[in-house]
Amino acid sequence: MTEKKNLTTNQGAPIGDNQNSMTAGLKGPTLLEDYQLIEKLAHFDRERVPERVVHARGVGAHGKFVVKNSMKKYTMAHFLQEEGQETEVFVRFSTVIHGLHSPETLRDPRGFSVKFYTEEGNFDFVGNNLPVFFIRDAIKFPDVIHSLKPDPTTNIQDPNRYWDYFSLTPEATTMITYLFSDEGIPASYRQMRGSSVHAFKWINEEGKTVYVKLRWQPKAGIVNLSTDQASQIQAKEFNHATRDLHEAIADGNYPEWDLYVQVLDPADLDKFDFNPLDATKDWFEDVIPYELVGTMTLTGNPENIFSETESVGFNPGVLVRGMLPSEDRLLQGRLFSYSDTQRHRIGPNYLQLPVNQPKTPVANNQRDGAMPFKQQTSSINYEPNSYESEPKENAKFIEPEQEIRGDIAGRLIAEKPNNFGHAREVWKRYSEAEQKALVKNIADDWANVREEIKIRNLRNFYQVEPVFAEQVAAKTGIELDKYISDLK
C-alpha cells in the first residue's frame, strides 16, 4: 500500500487545512499570521519570470548525440574524436518574434538550440532553421526585432513596420527569400532543419584552424506549411508543433537529426564575391560540401517545463577546447547578449540550475549572488594562491594564437556586401513551385502595406532578379517600370 504523503509548507511543516484561511471569527477579517496563506499567495505572485525578448515560445527535449565520423582532423574537441562517442543533450526549439503563448503557425524563424553536456564542459549550438539572418552587425539587432514586434502603441504586429525596415536594410534581402518561402512556417519541429547561421573556428591538435558552419538535417525530411495550411491548423490548434514533438517522444517515435559540418580553409576566405563570415550569407552545399558528423536522437520529454525548457540558457560563446568564435560581427554581439538575458531573467546563478550546469565539476572563484544553491565551499576564493589542494590554471588548455589585423573604428562593413547577389543565388536554386510560393507569400503579406514601402522593396527585389520583382509587382497591381528606370 502506498504511504500517504502529507501536504507541507515550503518549510516542510505538514498542512492541516489548505482550503480555508484563518480569520478573526466566522465573519472577521483574514489574519496576517496565517503563514500558509501568505506563503502560498506570495509564491504564486512570483511564479513567472520575464519571458525571453526573442525565442519566448519554446519546447524542449532530452536526448543523445552519437558521433558517426571522427572530427579529430578538424578539432581537438573531445566529444568529437571517436566514432561511437555518445554525449547527452538538451534541445530547445522555439519561435523567434512572438510571445510565450503565440500560435506556432505564424511565419517566423525557428530557433534550434542544443546543449551538449560534454566531458570537457558544455557546448552550446545556438542556431535557427533558416541558414542566414536579417543583419550582419549586432548593433542593429534591437532595431530589426523592434520592427518585427508588435507596434508599441497598438500591441499589434504591423507589416508596414518590418517591410519599412527591410526596404531600408538591403542586407536583409536574402533572409526575406528564405523567410517568405514556405520554410518560414515549418510543419513541425521534427521536420525542421537547423543551421549555426554563423561560422566558427575549429582547431585541431596540431594547431591548424579552419572555419566551419554546422547543419542539422531531420531524418523525417523537411516539411513546411503553406499559408492556407497554416490557417487551417491555427483555426483548431495553436500548439500543434509542441504537441507533435511531445507526443512523438512519448510514443517512442524518437525524432532524429544528422549533424553535418561545412569546412572552409582560411586561405580561401577571399575567393568568394561575398564575405563568408557575414551572417546574411549562406554556404551553399553545392559550393562547400557537407560532411557527416553524427546523429542526434531525442528520447525524453521534460519533467517540468519551467525548470527545464524555460530555465535553460544558451550562448553561442559556450564552446569547448578546439572551438572558437569567428570574426562575424553579429556573432560577436551575441556572445554577450545571450547570457546577459539569462542573468536578467533567471539570475546570476542560472548556470547552477540542473538543466544548465555541466556534468563536469565546476571549480572557480565565483561566489554568492542571488540563490547560489550550488555554492562552492572552499575558503580560498582567489587566484593565484599558494595552496596545493586548490584548483590552478593549466597552460595546456590555452588555445593557439589567432591572427587579427585592422584599425579600431566604428564603420560600415563595406567590403563585398553583396546584398542582392546572394539572394539571387537562393532564387535560382528554388524550383518554379518554390518561387511561386515566395511571390505569393510576399504579396499576401503586403495587403495593407503602404505603397511607397512596397516600391522600395520592389527596387531591392529587382536588383536580386528582375523576374522576381516583376512577379511580385504583378501580384500586387504595381506598375513596376515607373519606379526602376534608373536600375536598368
Q: Please identify every residue annotated as catalytic.
A: 55, 128
Q: At residue 398, what are phi and psi to the nearest 5 degrees?
A: -70, 130
Matching residue, cell 534541445: 91
β-bridge mates for residue 92, sequence order = 60, 113
Q: How far apart are CA 248 and CA 190, in angstroms?
A: 9
Hey, which residues does 215 pair with through a beta bridge?
195, 260
Question: Nearest 5°: phi and psi at 121?
Answer: 105, 180
Positive or negative, the CA dihedral 432, 434, 435, 441 is: positive
Q: Where are the beta strands (DSSP E) in 40-85?
A: 58-67
Q: 32 exposed, middle or buried (CB, 10 Å; 0-12, 13-18, 19+)?
A: exposed
What's the residue count for the chain? 488
Q: What is the Cα–Cα distance from 166 to 164, expressed in whole angstroms?
A: 6
355 within 8 A of 90, measured Cβ to Cβ: yes
Contact 164, 147 (CB under 8 A): yes
| Burial tier of 43 (Cβ tally within 10 Å: 0-12, 13-18, 19+) | exposed
What whole-number distance in Å separates Cα of residue 423 and Cα of residue 162? 18
